[in-house]
């Protein structure tokens, strides 16, 4: 009789332990899934509002940026202030293509008149003092051969590789609207030989 009671009590303890182990495993599984969900949401929020990695495709920003460079794009600056001259920005050139982005340098600011004459960039009729261009001579002024008056929230951009860049001189791109700007290029992170802060000034 006593042996039966002992056996019955042992079975009860083992069953309780098994149930606790099952609950513990389930709880750990839920916590693990919740952890990864939180990490995923945090990454999405960081990319949406703070920092996003982008890859340069092409040579239009040489010598500042090179093909296949991986760059960190920061999105904080333009929520606090407007783009400045010589900032390197990433923007959406076409409203009907959400997957395509360009990276270029800001040359003209809202309210200014931009024109390119004899390879010289003119801002409000005055020569712009800058040395970002890969080559001294700009072969094509494009639509900037005529005066371009920038309205509110409009920017004129150029690639540093002026003779191999599709930018504001191209009528299909034109001036860049501020609401199409994704952010400001911050630093090159890969390949390591190109690691460093992107030159804006």
Q: Which candidate in 60, 75, 165, 168 is catalytic? A: 60
Q: Which candidate in 75, 104, 165, 168 is catalytic? A: 104
**Residue 104 bears catalytic tag:** yes
* CA end-to-end span of the chain: 92
d(CA 61, CA 166): 10
d(CA 155, CA 158): 10
State yes or no: cis peptide before 63, omega within 30 of 0: yes
DSSP for residue 42: H
d(CA 179, CA 79): 11
d(CA 168, CA 170): 5
Task: State the catalytic residues.
Answer: 60, 104
């Amino acid at each position: 009789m006593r042996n039966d009671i002992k056996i019955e009590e042992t079975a009860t303890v083992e069953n309780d332990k098994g149930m606790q182990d099952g609950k513990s495993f389930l709880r750990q599984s839920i916590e693990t899934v919740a952890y990864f969900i939180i990490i995923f949401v945090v990454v999405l929020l960081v990319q949406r509002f703070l920092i996003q990695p982008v890859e340069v495709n092409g040579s239009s920003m040489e010598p500042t940026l090179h093909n296949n460079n991986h760059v960190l794009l920061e999105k904080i600056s333009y929520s606090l202030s407007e783009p400045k001259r010589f900032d390197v920005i990433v923007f959406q050139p076409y409203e009907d293509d959400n997957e395509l982005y360009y990276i270029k340098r800001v040359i003209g600011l809202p309210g200014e008149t931009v024109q390119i004459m004899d390879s010289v960039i003119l801002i409000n009729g005055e020569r712009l003092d800058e040395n970002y261009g890969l080559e001294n001579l700009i072969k094509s002024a494009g639509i900037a051969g005529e005066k371009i008056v920038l309205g509110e929230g409009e920017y004129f951009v150029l690639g540093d590789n002026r003779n191999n860049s599709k930018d504001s001189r191209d009528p299909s791109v034109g001036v860049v609207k501020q609401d199409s700007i994704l952010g400001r290029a911050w630093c090159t992170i890969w390949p390591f030989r190109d690691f460093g802060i992107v030159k804006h000034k």
